[in-house]
Every structure is written in structure tokens, then in C-alpha cells.
Chain A
Amino acid sequence: MRDASSARRRTRTAAAVGVASAVTVALAFALWPSTGNPRPMEGPALPGPSRSALEVPKPEPLRDKNVSLWSFVRRATTARRTPSRAGAAVARLATTTPEGTANTLLVLGRARDTAGRVWVRARLPVLPNGTTGWVPRRALGGYRSVHTRLVVNLRRRRATLLRNGRPLMRAGIGVGLDQSPTPRGRFYIRNKLVRYRSGFYGPLAFGTSARSAVLTDWPGGGFIGIHGTNQPELLPGRVSHGCIRMRNADIVRLGRLMPVGTPMEVL
């Protein structure tokens, strides 16, 4: 009897403890919010993330297969044969062209000298045609890039503008006479002249880094240009003093498509 009575007491005690614990836990949960301590990750539902105004494109690697860089002379300097202050002088470079525009250079490479100074190898607008030299980086302005290239075929008397390696425009051209030939080689577009009054040069002209090897005393230094004409009936043909002539409609179109700094190859 005693054993049965004591077992009932233990059962009642255990039940009472259980009930008390449950009440305590329930009270704790009920009182928790009122104490300012919200349960972690629970509570009222929050709105979802707002939709972004941006359509995010996939980051793409740089595709530079057909890119050329150019810069301009910010401070008059001397181009040298080697990337060193001790290198032999190749040419003195002014900040402006005879046309009053920035003196642009086609960038071909770079190197550092023993003192850590950066030098830029550039194609130069000097005779003999095709001359390159090393210019102190600090004498140049910022780099700019173009994706275009102009190929001039003297035999076919045709110019082709390419963008990213693909032909964009073709035009028949006039080229230099036998006594004043258009120079062959690698050059670049230096500047663009517009809104002048000259039927002979047409509505627009590009200056190039090419120079006539025979008309060296020509005003401005005998630079070869690409320009329009008032004698379109002569094109294509050998008609010029070395310049590349185009029909006016073609030069206007080229003016829209070809940026300054474009490399030019005369074959």
C-alpha cells in the first residue's frame, strides 16, 4: 500500500513539474516580444527585394584583335632611336601640326628604361616615310583607341575602310602621278579638316602621316592628304601630286566612318 501511495505521489509531482515547466515556457514565449527581443528570423513577413532598374549584362572580356592606339604630343619632345634619354635623336616633335591640330602619333609599343621611365614606340610623321621612334610617355597625352583601318591599293586605285577587320566602305580613288607618286608604306590619319572653301580639295580632307618624298618644299611640309575633288571624271586614275582623291560623296561618307588615329596602309 505504501509503495502504491508513494508511486502516485511521484506521478503527481512529476505531472505538476511538467505543467509548471510548460506554463513557464509558454509565458516566456508570450512575453518575449514585449521585452523587445524578437525571436530570430521570425516575426512579420517582409517584402521581397525590389526589381532593379538595370538589366545586368554579362561581363565580357576585352576583344582587342583589331584595336589600334594613338596619342598626341602634349609637350614638345624628341623621338629617339632607343627607349633611353641617351638614345640617338630621330626627330623633334611639336605639339601641333601645320594645320593647327594636335600632333597625333600612332602607338606601336612601350618599354621602360633602366630608371623605370616609360617610353612609347610610335610611328612618326617624318621623312623618311615609315620612321618610328621612342617618345617619353610623359610627353604624350592620354591613349585613344580605334577599331578601323584604311587600306589603299595603288595598283587597283581603290581604298577600303575596315572596321573590326571587316570591310565597311570601298571607293575608287585618284593617286599620285609618276613624277609625284603616292608613297607606299604604313601611316595613320592625323587630322580632319572641314568647312573650308576649296573646290580643289572638295568638302572634307584628312591629313595623314605620309609625306611626299619629292615635294619636300611644299607648303606645310608636303604631307599627303585624302580629300574630295572638283574633277570627279578623272577618278579612278593617276592624277594627283601624291594625295589620295575621292569623289565628294565618298569623302563625305569616309568622314562619317573613319576616326582620326586610324592606321593606313598604302600597298
Chain B
Amino acid sequence: MTMEGFCFRKLDVDGALAEAVDRAGAITRGSFLAGALGVSAAAAVADEAVAQDGKLGKVDQGILNYALTLEYLQAAFYTEAERMKAIKGDVRKAARKLGSVERAHVKAFQDVLGRNAVGRPTFDFQGVTEKPRPFLKTAVAFEDLAVAAYGGQAANLKAASAVAAAVSIYSVEARHAAWMRYLFGLNPAAKAFDQPKTKSQITQIVRSTNFIAAPPKTKRKRAPSFTG
């Protein structure tokens, strides 16, 4: 089995994903990630190096926010899978472990970014967390995606402490990718060299999934008509 050309559209065993991608009116399809990337791009243009007070500069903050968004996505994915209890056996054990690690990544990024951390988006995994095979396939794609994203941005970080942070997570994501590939029946270490992905490539892929969704409207400026 090969993962060459693997993309999220191919996860769509029920047609639900393709339908979601084509569905009009997805208010902010991928806009959250695009926002995080926008911060990164703007910061890169500003060409600001590391702040003198020891805090991360805007370039690094933008990249870490981009990473945080991907970590939100992964953490929510594994957490939902654990809550749904639809995944069993070794895959369930792996999902629980990876969920705890991805949540730790989220917390670490939130702590270092403080008030500059992007907020958590809302997700709609459209049932992928409730079926073992699509779950595993998506997990492989997520982990490979994370490795490609970190690989694509690590060299753009300015501060050595930010590089060290990214590298420390990059290798963990690579292990996750290998683990999920093994469970899915793929070669865990298929290549001698990984191919990094650009920000726009990552955005395009995540957008195509519709996994980042607009939150439901539950609040409204309107007089009640309750019984009183």
C-alpha cells in the first residue's frame, strides 16, 4: 500500500467529506487556519528578529500559532475519538496516548504564547472519529501533515529557543506518524528524506477537509417567546 498522493479527499469512505467540501455556505472553511497563517506571513514580512527582552519575536509567534492550530486539530481529533469509544484494541490505546500528548502540546504552546495565542477553533470531524478505518487513515494523514508542517517552518524560526521547541515536537510527531502508519499497515519509515510542505499547501489540505467548521449559532439578540 502506498501513501503517495494521499489526501484528505480520499478519506471520504461515505461521501460525507466530499459533500462537505462542496457544500456552499461553510462560513469560515479553513479561515481559522488561514488567520493563523496570516499572522505568520505578516510577521515574516515585518522581518522582525527575536525581541531583545528574551520573548519571542513576531515571526516566531506567528509560526508557533500556526503550529498551535495544527495541535488544536490533532488534540480535538484524538479527544473526540476517545470520547466516542468507537475505536478498540491497539488503535484505541494509541489514540489515548496520542491524545494526551497532543493536548500537552496545545498547553505548551498556549503557555509560551500567552495572550498572543490564537483561540481554539470549532471542529466537525463528520463521523471520522466513530469508524475505526477512517479514523486510522485520518490519523496517518494528520501525523504526516504535522511532520511536513514542522519541517516546512523549523528553518524559518529566528530564536534558538523556538527552534529547540519545534524540533522537540517535530521528532515526536514523526514517531506518531510511524506508529499510526504501522497500525494502518503502512511502512512506518518509507522514505529516506521527508518532504516539507509550505504554509499554503498545509492550508489547502486542511481547508479541503472542512474539519475546521463555523461554530453553531446558539446566541441571538432577540426577545424570548418562552412561557414566562
| Interface residues, chain A, with chain B CB atoms under 8 Å away | 49-62, 64, 67, 69, 72, 98-102, 104, 110, 112, 116-118, 137-138, 141-145, 180, 190-198, 200-201, 205, 207, 212, 215, 218-220, 222-225, 227, 240-243, 260-261
Known: A53-B159, A138-B127, A241-B227. 20 other contacts (CB 8 A): A51-B160, A54-B108, A54-B112, A55-B108, A56-B168, A59-B97, A60-B103, A62-B99, A62-B103, A72-B218, A141-B213, A191-B218, A191-B219, A192-B220, A193-B220, A196-B221, A196-B224, A212-B227, A220-B226, A224-B227
Which 10 residue pairs spanning A and B have beta carbons closest together? A225-B226, A142-B124, A102-B216, A59-B100, A220-B225, A50-B160, A53-B161, A196-B223, A241-B227, A260-B218
- Distance of A194 Cα from B161 Cα, bound (Å): 45
Q: Which chain B residues border A241 with CB–CB below 8 Å? A: 227-228
Task: Tell whether A57 pairs with B108 under 8 Å between CB atoms, given A102-B216, A142-B125, A193-B224.
Answer: yes
A62 to B224, Cβ gap below 8 A? no
- Distance of A100 Cα from B222 Cα, bound (Å): 9
Q: Which chain B residues border A225 with CB–CB below 8 Å? A: 224, 226-228
Query: B15-61: which have CB < 8 Å to A?
Result: 16, 56, 60
* 13 residue pairs A–B, Cβ–Cβ below 8 Å: A54-B112, A55-B108, A59-B103, A61-B96, A99-B225, A101-B216, A101-B217, A137-B127, A141-B124, A194-B220, A222-B227, A225-B226, A260-B218
Question: Chain A residue with minimal CB distance to B101?
Answer: A59
B161 to A50, Cβ gap below 8 A? yes
A102 to B218, Cβ gap below 8 A? yes
Query: B131-184: which have CB < 8 Å to A?
Result: 131, 159-165, 168-169
| Interface residues, chain B, with chain A CB atoms under 8 Å away | 14, 16, 56, 60, 64, 79-80, 82-84, 86, 96-97, 99-101, 103-104, 107-109, 111-112, 122-127, 130-131, 159-165, 168-169, 213, 216-228
Q: Which chain A residues border B168 with CB–CB below 8 Å? A: 52, 54, 56
Task: For residue A112, give the distance in angstroms from its CB to the closest CB of chain B.
Answer: 8
Q: Which chain A residues border B223 with CB–CB below 8 Å? A: 193, 196-198, 201
- Distance of A207 Cα from B17 Cα, bound (Å): 32
Q: Which chain A residues border B162 with CB–CB below 8 Å? A: 53
Q: Which chain B residues border A197 with CB–CB below 8 Å? A: 223
**A54 touches which of B101, B109, B160, B220 (Cβ 8 Å):** B109
Task: Tell whether A61 pairs with B100 under 8 Å between CB atoms, given A52-B165, A101-B218, A193-B223.
Answer: yes
**B222 touches which of A193, A200, A218 (Cβ 8 Å):** A193
Task: For residue B63, give the distance in angstroms from its CB to the closest CB of chain A.
Answer: 11
Task: Tell whether A207 pairs with B221 under 8 Å between CB atoms, given A60-B100, A118-B130.
Answer: no
Question: Chain A residue with minimal CB distance to B159?
Answer: A53
Q: Which chain A residues border B161 with CB–CB below 8 Å? A: 50-53
Task: For residue B65, give the distance in angstroms from its CB to the closest CB of chain A.
Answer: 13
A223 to B104, Cβ gap below 8 A? no
Task: For residue A62, give the distance in angstroms from its CB to the closest CB of chain B.
Answer: 5
Question: Chain A residue with minimal CB distance to B210?
Answer: A142
A53 to B83, Cβ gap below 8 A? no
Question: Chain A residue with minimal CB distance to B133?
Answer: A116
Q: Which chain A residues border B125 with CB–CB below 8 Å? A: 142
B111 to A54, Cβ gap below 8 A? yes
B216 to A49, Cβ gap below 8 A? no
A49 to B164, Cβ gap below 8 A? yes
A142 to B220, Cβ gap below 8 A? no
- Distance of A102 Cα from B112 Cα, bound (Å): 35
- Distance of A204 Cα from B193 Cα, bound (Å): 58
Question: Chain A residue with minimal CB distance to B19?
Answer: A138
Task: For residue B101, give the distance in angstroms from its CB to the closest CB of chain A.
Answer: 5
**A227 touches which of B14, B109, B217, B226 (Cβ 8 Å):** B226
B227 to A205, Cβ gap below 8 A? no
Q: Which chain B residues border A116 with CB–CB below 8 Å? A: 131
Task: Tell whether A200 pairs with B111 under 8 Å between CB atoms, given A62-B96, A194-B221, A260-B218.
Answer: no
A56 to B219, Cβ gap below 8 A? no
B217 to A62, Cβ gap below 8 A? no
Task: For residue B195, give the distance in angstroms from its CB to the closest CB of chain A.
Answer: 25
Q: Which chain A residues border B100 with CB–CB below 8 Å? A: 59-62
- Distance of A56 Cα from B163 Cα, bound (Å): 15
Question: Chain A residue with minimal CB distance to B226?
Answer: A225
B16 to A138, Cβ gap below 8 A? yes
- Distance of A101 Cα from B225 Cα, bound (Å): 13
Question: Chain A residue with minimal CB distance to B79?
Answer: A62
Q: Which chain A residues border B108 with CB–CB below 8 Å? A: 54-57
**A99 touches which of B60, B97, B220 (Cβ 8 Å):** B220
